[in-house]
Structure 1
Amino acid sequence: MRALVALAGLLALQTPAAAVAREFPELTPAVAARLDSVVRKTMREAGVPGVVVGLSAPGKGSYVRAFGVADKATGAAMKPGVYSRIGSVTKTFTVTALLQLVDRGKAGLDDPIGAYVEGVPNGERITLRQLAGMRSGLFNYSEDEGFFKALTGDPTRSFTPQELLAFSFKHPVLFEPGAEFSYCNTNLILLGLVVEKLGGRPLHEFVSANILKPQGLNRTVFPTDAAFPSPHPHGYTNQTASGAVEDATGWNPSWGWAAGAMISDLEDQRKWARILATGTLLTPRTQAERLKTGTTQISGTGYGLGVFNVEGWIGHNGSLPGYQTLTIYLPEYQATLVLLLNTDISYEGQEPSTVLGRAVTGVVTPDHVYQLGG
């Protein structure tokens, strides 16, 4: 199942200044018009109903637009202030919570997961670092056929973390711990349980108390049910039992939990992009560990601890039925790009957030074009 397996990638975390040929442009009306044009063209080609775009850099201005519709049935327009399900961007919050606990001396990145959660295949050898870096070798529960049937058979049902792990653990491990890269939501469910155990409270409460409230991310929510703050767009998916396109707005995101259940909006994601990439909530040493990357099976890509970098853009993308998000930051220019889409239906084998991200960065940062796989 592709939903929520929004794979991240990076070429290198540092781009030599000498390699930069062009500066980030001022976001003038002329540049805005070019962006308007490429976004609309890409939306038409990829069949994206609606998208919110936020792009900015210090001294260069800001570009904030909403395109298309939030509801295909009524034709209601997409607006910049909507809440959206952010899918795998949730991983950046869960891993940040874990790294905060590492900074407090509660855990070490090379601790085995078996010290915290029982019954994990290879649990005595898989480390927290390997889980956060997608190198555990565990099977991805969201690719299990039984899970797909359970989710699409009743999208409103609630899953527990233990139920999600059971879908994974019935499969053999894919490889020895640390031997390869394999993007896997199972890893984040386990890290969520570690945060709960060491943090002494439910994951959503720990994230709220230690990340959201201190940083003023007041429009970011870690839901415990299908509740969806208003206003929000309707989301459209073909990740269904029949393969037909359905409205997934009310689907319960509990199946994503620590890997993908959160909700946010444009302004909070713009703040979070910078916080995440610059290590605001972590010690410099721990942030440096987070930004260390390894190669993946996708040419020219890599992954750190719950973050990616594509041509210098650091952050994460997210996907779950009906919604996609891209939250990235370019340190070279202190530039931020956020995309919120109300579909996860792929276009020519690529996620629509990737297609739109490529279009936008192709205009403003041609030396740093966001291109994830494909």
Structure 2
Amino acid sequence: MTHACTRLRRGAVLATAVAMLMVPVAGGTALAAPPTATDAPAADPPSPSASEDAVRELTPAVRRQLDAVVRRVMDEADIPGVTVGLWTPDEGEYVRSFGVADRSEGRKMTNDLYTRIGSETKTFTVTALLELVDQGEAGLDDTIDRYVDGVPNGDEITLRQLAGMRSGLFNYTEDDDFFKALTTDPQRSYTPRQLLDFAFRHPVLFPPGDKFSYSNTNLVLLGLVVEKLSGKKLQDYIRDHVLLPAGMDHSLFPVGAEYPDPHAQGYSNQTADGKVEDTADWNPSWAWAAGAMISTLDDLRIWARTVATGVLPDGNTLISPFTQKQRLTTAPTTIPGAGYGLGIFNVDGWIGHNGSLPGYESLTVYLPSAQTTLVVLLNTDIDHKGTEPSTLLGDAITKIVSPDHVFDLPAEPAAR
């Protein structure tokens, strides 16, 4: 689903996340070892679901299966800590944390931690844009040159193409100089224009609308559009017009390296020398509108359904049904079985996004046919055999609870 993420150069940014969506539903170094699969009881074989839209009842046996599969993936992929939240309307809920939040102290992972959510930020930035579209402040088929100067092909690239990852603009996080600058001084603060400079030194990849190519550059531009149209800083607009209406009191868009307590430490090998480092104090301004936000398990539970349906917990709409339908209208990507809409993906019926930032990964998805929410949070972004750990967990969990709707998001080959 980064990838929907805001990865650096590894496939840069998530080719996995980013590219994944399908057609909308109807309409490091060896650190301390995580728990091993032998710690859990043997899993029962899965039973078939009653219908292709059903999720399995979260019986004690199914819960044991979930415990075992999470521990197995953690052991195989050397994941320090994981929190999993699964909520169904009739079959109950499963909320568990495994492993450690801090390997140096042995502090346990818990359900109440703040976490950096990487490219899930894209869903908030695009929602802000769609609200402004609903207000008549802009049109999705407006070209970006109306709002931001100096964009290559800016008189041809539409806001819709930016949100749908079809602009053809180079992804700044794949730029060698950017990678060197960030990993040499991870506390440095970046402005949106500085990020765009890394992108615009490269030629466009293809004519606008020609194909899908995940690019964080697109979201930086949309963040600037939101600021110009609203007259507010992006973080303020998202707080006032997205987070507060949704009741997401423990989510924020940081302006620097601030990180509320309690939070997990993050472990990444996306460093200057490739060694694993703790990245909790890295400044996420380099990800800005594409991936800087922080949230919690409970808030992401709210967001999963809200972003997938456009409906707030109180029953009011966040954006109009017409605009929500456009958000969920997906186009083909380079990943089989996955489609991407406007800042959102659909993988075998699961709608939402994943996120990846050095040291952290997340997955927040909703299965409308079963009204089921899945949130996975972990404190590493180190791939296992070329696959993001959040994808490994999403795949393993959904094979158990929704065998007819499996979150299988293979990573794209690296761009270099």
Whether the TM-score (by the shorter chain) exceeds 0.5 is: yes
* Structure 1 unpaired stretches of 5+: none
**What is the identity, as a one-letter code, of the residue corresponding to 1:224?**
V
Contact 1:85 1:323 in 2 (8 A): yes
What is the 5 A alignment of 1:209-220? 209-220=240-251
Contact 1:120 1:169 in 2 (8 A): yes
SS of the residue aligned with 1:272?
A: helix
Partners of 1:304 and 1:366 in 2: CA distance: 24
Does 2:87 align with 1:56? yes
Contact 2:123 2:353 in 1 (8 A): yes
Q: Which residue of 1 aligns with 2:213?
A: 182
Does 2:323 align with 1:286? yes
Does 2:44 align with 1:7? no
User: Aligned-pair RMSD on alpha carbons?
Assistant: 1.3
SS of the residue aligned with 1:70?
A: strand
Percent of paired sites with the same residue: 62
What is the 5 A alignment of 1:46-125? 46-125=77-156
Q: How far did 1:158 drift?
A: 0.2
What is the 5 A alignment of 1:204-283? 204-280=235-311, 281-283=318-320
SS of the residue aligned with 1:67?
A: strand
Q: How far did 1:8 drift?
A: 4.0
How many residues end up aligned between the 2 structures? 372
Partners of 1:190 and 1:312 in 2: CA distance: 29
Contact 1:4 1:256 in 2 (8 A): no
**What is the identity, as a one-letter code, of the residue corresponding to 1:108?**
G
**What is the identity, as a one-letter code, of the residue corresponding to 1:314?**
I
Aligned residue among 17, 41, 45 for 2:76: 45
Aligned residue among 346, 349, 353 for 1:309: 346
Q: Which residue of 1 aligns with 2:30?
A: none
Q: How far did 1:300 drift?
A: 2.3
Contact 1:83 1:229 in 2 (8 A): yes
Partners of 2:379 and 2:159 in 1: CA distance: 33
Contact 1:11 1:302 in 2 (8 A): yes
Q: How far did 1:22 drift?
A: 6.4
Aligned residue among 36, 61, 66 for 2:67: 36
Residues 272 and 97 of structure 1: CA distance in aligned 2, closer, same or farther (over 3 Å): same
Deviations 1:217-250 (A, max 9, x none): 0000100010000000000000011111111110
SS of the residue aligned with 1:27?
A: coil
Contact 1:4 1:318 in 2 (8 A): no
* Structure 2 unpaired stretches of 5+: 1-8, 28-49, 312-317, 412-416
Name the TM-score, length of structure 2 as normaliser. Answer: 0.88
Partners of 1:257 and 1:20 in 2: CA distance: 42
**What is the identity, as a one-letter code, of the residue corresponding to 1:165?**
L
Residues 275 and 21 of structure 1: CA distance in aligned 2, closer, same or farther (over 3 Å): closer
Partners of 1:47 and 1:177 in 2: CA distance: 40
Q: Which residue of 1 aligns with 2:175?
A: 144
Does 2:373 align with 1:362? no
**What is the identity, as a one-letter code, of the residue corresponding to 1:246?**
E
Contact 2:19 2:333 in 1 (8 A): no
Q: Which residue of 1 aligns with 2:378?
A: 341
Deviations 1:168-227 (A, max 9, x none): 000000000000100000000000000000011000000000011111100001000100
Partners of 2:119 and 2:255 in 1: CA distance: 16
Q: Which residue of 2 aligns with 1:168?
A: 199
Contact 1:121 1:173 in 2 (8 A): yes
Deviations 1:14-40 (A, max 9, x none): 269xx9446212212221111000000
Contact 1:4 1:87 in 2 (8 A): no
Partners of 1:223 and 1:291 in 2: CA distance: 28
Runs of 4+ aligned structure 1 residues displaced above 6 Å come to none
**What is the identity, as a one-letter code, of the residue corresponding to 2:397?**
V
SS of the residue aligned with 1:337?
A: strand
